[in-house]
Structures are given as structure tokens and as C-alpha cells.
Amino acid sequence: MLAGEGYWRSSVSRSYYAAYCAVTSALVVRSIRFGRGWHNPPHAHLLHLLTHNLTLSQDVRRRLSRRLRTLRHAREDADDRPGMTVNRALALHCLRDAIVVLQDVGMPDA
């Protein structure tokens, strides 16, 4: 909906957080604990946790890692770097990446 209304930055941000939430949920299902008693992992630790704790093929883990890195970088541009261009093409690319992540970790309705 955000991308459809032209809210490119918000769409990019939500795409990342949808993927982050899907991976975090998959980790929680496997009873993975996060540091400091947190209920979710630090963003910087997500790829390591995914790689070492989810029973996915190596190809899928690589694809997820690539897409999550791209999504996080785009989210940081959208949320934290006002001078960066965030446009329709980037928003749609991030939506596609988020959908792949959700599908790969087995989220319903992805």
C-alpha cells in the first residue's frame, strides 16, 4: 500500500522490517535466544543467526543473506540518509526481495 501511494521511503523501510520479522520469527520457533534478554536480535547479528541456526540449504541461506543485506542497506538509506534517492524502482525491488525472504523462511501468505 505504501509503494502504491508513492511513499517510497516508508515502503522500503517496511519491506526490510517484514523480512527482519520473518527471519526473527523463524529463529524464535527454533528456540534461539538473543543477547541481553532481548526478544529480537540486533540487526547486525541477523545474518549470522540465520546462517548458523536455520535448517535451510546453502543456496537458500546465501540468497537470504544477499537479500537481507540489500534490504538493510536500502532501509538505512531510506530512514537515515535524507540525501539518498529512494524511488519507485527501489521500493519495488525491496518489495520483491522481502517477498522472497518471507517465502524462503516459510511465512504464510507471502
What average pLDDT is seen over the chain? Answer: 92
What is the predicted pLDDT for the residue at 38?
86
Whether pTM > 0.95 for this model: the answer is: no
- Tell me whether residue 15 is in a domain: yes
What is the predicted pLDDT for the residue at 106?
84
Q: Which amino acid is at 25?
A: S
Q: Give the range of the structural domain holding residue 83, as residue numbers without chain letter.
A: 8-104
Residues 30-48 have pLDDT tens digits of: 999 888 888 889 999 999 9
Report the 3 state secondary structure along 3-59.
Answer: CCCCCHHHHHHHHHHHHHHHHHHHHHHCCCCCHHHCCCCCHHHHHHHHHHHCCCCHH
Query: What is the domain-level CATH number for residue 43?
Result: 1.20.120
Give me Rg for the CA atoms of the chain: 14
- Tell me whether residue 13 is in a domain: yes
Mean pLDDT for the stretch of residues 42-71: 93
